[in-house]
Amino acid sequence: RSREYRHYSQAHCREYNQCMKRAMPAGRQGFFIVFEGGEGAGKSVQASLLVAKLRAQGHAVVVTREPGGTRIGEQIRAITHNPENVDLDARAEAYLMAASRAQHVAEIIAPALSDGRIVVCDRFVDSTIAYQGYGRGLGPDVIARLNELAVNGAKPDLTFFLNVPVEVGLARREGSVKKDRMDLQEKEFYTRVHEGYLTLAKTSPARYVVIDATASVEEIASDIWKIIEETVRVRNGKNS
Ligand code: TMP
């Protein structure tokens, strides 16, 4: 009977530890990189180039995006991006972005970081602060508070803001992709989003890197790689 009890207790501990690992991103070993930027900034291209380089060096990398990144998150994305949903309320939009994020953190980001992987994510909380906080005018603080529950402690170690003037970004998008609901806003909306990002970069200089995204794809990739190498060097230096 005591053996049975011990058996139960070990299994229970294993399960408990697993849960605790997921619930406590602060104790993680991984590294969380986020790409942010307005429309046509080239985030997705740069995210894939970075992931390829990291993998070539033998790193375990998870690449993902928001809204989406999970089966449920992609269903939420279908709602937020559907051009028929012109009547989607700004607050409902903010909650949908946060709901997609909560699922994403629980299912993908926190477990990957606990396993020591590098997570490269196309957009995270700062997108909601920029688009719903500044763009829709809900305000940055209320959006930051709204997201506390969703992220459950997960925080980017490094955020690349790919900075392009609004006109340049919109011109790049013009004609190149199928227009979704988020592509159909007035120019002033994207200007507020852009200003929001610049404010975020100013207020979180430790984790924000502003990249001039008007340069060529190769130049941008090389700027990003330099920062990654420097970050790894500093980290290793700290750890040794
Ligand atoms: P993208 O995947 O092409 O960058 O499109 C995502 C769109 O969704 C983009 O217009 C930004 C918008 N968005 C928000 O408005 N709030 C958010 O929290 C996120 C993650 C994206």
pLDDT digits (tens, 9 = 90+) for 107-147: 999 999 999 999 999 999 999 999 999 999 999 999 999 99
CA-nearest residue for atom 17, ligand 1, is: 128
pLDDT at 211: 97
Compute the half-sphere exposure of residue 77: CA atoms within 13 Å on the CB side of its CA: 15
Higher per-residue confidence, 53 vs 172: 53
Residue 211: both structure tokens together = 């990249």
| The ligand 1 atom nearest the CA atom of 80 | 8
Cβ partners under 8 Å of residue 67, min gap 6: 73, 76, 77, 80, 81, 96, 97, 100, 101, 123
CA-nearest residue for atom 3, ligand 1, is: 39
Pairing verdict, β 208-212 and 158-163: parallel
pLDDT at 175 over 90: no
What is the C-alpha separation between 124 and 66, in angstroms, rounded?
A: 6
CA-nearest residue for atom 5, ligand 1, is: 182
CA-nearest residue for atom 9, ligand 1, is: 182
pLDDT at 213 over 70: yes
What distance in angstroms lies between residue 68's CA and the mean position of ligand 1's atoms? 10
- Helical spans, DSSP H, in 121-216: 125-128, 140-151, 166-173, 187-203
What is the C-alpha separation between 238 and 41, in angstroms, rounded?
A: 33
What distance in angstroms lies between residue 127's CA and the mean position of ligand 1's atoms? 6
CA-nearest residue for atom 13, ligand 1, is: 127
**With 0-12 CB in 10 A as exposed, 13-18 as middle and 19+ as buried, what is 84?**
exposed
| Ligand 1 binding site (Cβ under 6 Å of any ligand atom) | 39, 65-67, 97, 123, 127-128, 131-132, 182
What distance in angstroms lies between residue 112's CA and the mean position of ligand 1's atoms? 22
Q: What is the pTM of this model?
A: 0.87
What is the helix (H) or strand (E) element at residue 98, kind and residue range? helix 90-104
Q: Average pLDDT, stretch 176-205?
A: 91
Band of residue 29 on the pLDDT scale cut at 50, 70, 90: confident
CB 98 within 8 A of CB 154: no
| Residue range 147-157, pLDDT digits in tens | 999 999 999 99
Q: Average pLDDT, stretch 167-172?
A: 92
Residue 40: both structure tokens together = 């046509």
Compute the half-sphere exposure of residue 31: CA atoms within 13 Å on the CB side of its CA: 15
pLDDT at 3: 35
Band of residue 193 on the pLDDT scale cut at 50, 70, 90: very high
CA-nearest residue for atom 16, ligand 1, is: 128
What is the helix (H) or strand (E) element at residue 75, kind and residue range? helix 71-81
What distance in angstroms lies between residue 209's CA and the mean position of ligand 1's atoms? 19
What single letter denotes the amino acid at residue 157?
Answer: D
